[in-house]
């Protein structure tokens, strides 16, 4: 579990790192009166330089809504919306779309963490997902529930359907299955661990926050298949977030 958490943090960090804008740096010229250049990729970073009309910049890399540029042998950051004020050497102008939902709709991978309630026990979950299309995705999730009487470790593979993926707040539903390992918390009597099969269904909501982040809330109903005549049912409520790539 710890290695999975570390890997998730690495993925989150890598999603925020500067990425190449083009295969090679691009030379551009300022076409408006001026553009502001910041010391870092964010509005909170001060404006430390100004490039005026007909001065040349080199586009180097990007980080979400910011583009790293080279100007007078120094590196600065330019707001993505200011790309419309630039022109390439062949006379091409930039067209910048403000619809950030496009990247969300075209995502292929997700990694997430969630917390909640597993039939009265505290619960947390780590997951990775692959999207076959904007409507269908597969998810592998590892969950841990810690209760007063027992600890539960689960591993499940699920298929989710999103009927309205173009909505910023969109519902989803899915089915899945896996295994549940239960470790009783007994002191006087040594009780062996139990391994059972899980069959689950889930309903929930996803909300695209910004950049690469998605908030998620869900309710999951699971049936634990046991050796006894009657099976057990588990209710799980969870709230968390994911990063996508």
Which pLDDT tens digit goes with each residue over 37-85? 999 988 889 999 999 999 999 999 887 778 899 999 999 999 988 988 9
Segment among 36-40, 73-77, 137-141, 190-194 with least mean pLDDT: 190-194
Do the beta carbons of residue 218 and residue 98 sit within 8 Å? Answer: no
Interatomic CA distance for residues 130 and 108, integer angstroms? 6
Helix, strand or coil, per DSSP, at residue 33: coil
Q: If you average pLDDT over every residue of the chain, what do you get?
A: 85
Interatomic CA distance for residues 183 and 172, integer angstroms? 32
Interatomic CA distance for residues 12 and 6, integer angstroms? 10
Percent of the chain with pLDDT over 70: 85
Who has greater pLDDT, 14 or 245? 245
The per-residue pLDDT for 139 is 98
Interatomic CA distance for residues 126 and 16, integer angstroms? 20
Which residue, chain included where needed, has tokens 């062996």?
192
Nearest of 110, 237, 118 to residue 182 by alpha carbon: 118
Pick the CATH number of 19-98 from 3.20.20.10, 3.30.1330.100, 2.160.10.10, 2.30.30.40: 2.30.30.40
Average pLDDT over residues 171-185: 93
Q: Where in the chain is the domain with CATH 2.40.160.20?
A: 104-244
Average pLDDT over residues 87-100: 75
Q: Where in the chain is the domain with CATH 2.30.30.40?
A: 19-98
Interatomic CA distance for residues 162 and 232, integer angstroms? 28
Q: Is the pTM of this model over 0.75?
A: no
For the chain, how big is the Rg over CA atoms in Å? 24
Helix (H) or strand (E) holding 117, with range, is strand 109-118
Percent of the chain with pLDDT over 90: 54
CATH code: domain 104-244 is 2.40.160.20
């Amino acid at each position: 579990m710890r290695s999975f958490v570390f890997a998730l943090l690495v993925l989150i960090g890598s999603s925020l790192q500067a990425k190449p804008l083009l295969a090679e740096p691009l030379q551009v010229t300022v076409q408006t009166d001026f553009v502001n250049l910041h010391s870092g990729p964010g509005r909170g970073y001060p404006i430390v330089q100004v490039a005026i009309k007909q001065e040349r910049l080199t586009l180097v890399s990007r980080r979400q809504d910011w583009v790293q540029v080279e100007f007078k042998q120094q590196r600065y950051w330019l707001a993505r919306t200011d790309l419309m004020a630039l022109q390439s050497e062949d006379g091409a102008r930039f067209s910048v779309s403000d619809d950030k939902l496009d990247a969300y709709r075209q995502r292929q991978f997700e990694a997430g963490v969630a917390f909640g309630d597993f039939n009265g026990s505290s619960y947390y979950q780590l997951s990775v997902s692959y999207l076959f299309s904007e409507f269908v995705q597969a998810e592998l999730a590892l969950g841990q529930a810690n209760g007063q009487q027992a600890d539960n470790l689960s591993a499940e593979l699920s298929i989710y359907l999103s009927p309205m993926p173009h909505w910023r707040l969109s519902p989803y539903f899915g089915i899945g299955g896996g295994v549940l390992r239960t470790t009783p918390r007994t002191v006087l009597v040594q009780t062996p661990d139990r391994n059972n099969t899980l069959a689950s269904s889930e309903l929930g909501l996803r909300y695209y926050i910004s950049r690469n982040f998605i908030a998620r809330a869900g309710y999951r109903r699971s049936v634990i298949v046991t050796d006894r005549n009657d099976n057990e049912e588990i209710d799980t409520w969870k709230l968390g977030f994911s990063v996508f790539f």
